[in-house]
């Protein structure tokens, strides 16, 4: 087999043997076919990667809570889901910390939440609720009810969440009451506080 330098000299001088010429053509054809295959496969491989929008949607979300008023419910999008942010009053927090026989899972043992939120308020800071605003029954979005006398009496608290689709009810920590269609408490996403004014979801 000729080296590349010898091959170039043989081509220049016209002394290339038929066997060497054949080897050269086979090698050149193989290289061209390999390059063509790579060029054709690249678009298919690239199409399997998630889009920029999908990557952005799946990433962490920063939320400013510096202007979140007491009793205010704010919604941000994370992974295509509505995530609620709510600043609870001292009265709301005290009510959540009291035993409530109306709750189906008061200790949140069957619920999805970070370990740091496995407490009565289901939050890292008692006054701030962060929860996925989707009913665990069929995916409707419950509404905040602060002035609903019947709901307040049932929860022994100043407010809760009511799902309009099938009547599931949740306290201000997202804990579900007994005998409603929703099987579990509302999901608490992973999050962390960044200083006093921001939190990062995801």
For 53-69, what is the mean pLDDT? 81
pLDDT of 19 higher than 70: no
Average pLDDT, the chain: 86
In CATH, the number for domain 55-201 is 2.102.10.10
Residue 143 to residue 134: CA distance in whole angstroms = 10
Strands (E), 90-190: 128-132, 143-145, 160-162, 169-170
Q: What is the domain partition of the chain in residue ranges?
A: 4-47, 55-201
Q: Annotated catalytic residue: which of 9, 137, 156, 166?
A: 166
Q: What is the share, in percent, of the chain residues with pLDDT greater than 70?
A: 85
| Residue 166 is a catalytic residue | yes
Least confident residue range of 26-40, 87-101, 131-145: 26-40
**Per-residue pLDDT tens over the stretch 99-157:** 999 999 998 888 889 999 999 999 999 999 999 999 999 889 999 998 888 888 888 88
């Amino acid at each position: 087999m000729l080296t590349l330098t010898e091959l170039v000299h043989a081509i220049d001088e016209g002394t290339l043997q038929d066997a060497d010429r054949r080897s050269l053509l086979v090698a050149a054809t193989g290289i061209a076919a390999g390059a063509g295959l790579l060029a054709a496969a690249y678009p298919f491989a690239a199409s399997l990667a998630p889009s920029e929008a999908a990557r952005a949607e799946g990433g962490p979300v920063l939320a400013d809570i510096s202007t979140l008023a007491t009793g205010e419910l704010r919604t941000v999008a994370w992974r295509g889901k509505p995530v609620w942010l709510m600043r609870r009053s001292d009265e709301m927090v005290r009510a959540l910390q009291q035993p409530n026989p109306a709750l189906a899972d008061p200790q949140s043992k069957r619920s999805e939440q970070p370990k740091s939120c496995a407490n009565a308020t289901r939050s890292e800071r008692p006054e701030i609720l962060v929860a996925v605003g989707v009913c665990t029954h069929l995916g409707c979005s419950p509404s905040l009810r602060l002035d609903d006398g019947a709901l307040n009496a049932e929860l022994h608290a100043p407010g809760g969440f009511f799902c309009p689709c099938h009547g599931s009810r949740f306290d201000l920590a997202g804990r579900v009451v007994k005998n409603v269609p929703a099987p579990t408490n509302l999901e608490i996403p992973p999050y962390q506080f960044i200083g006093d004014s921001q939190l990062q979801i995801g």
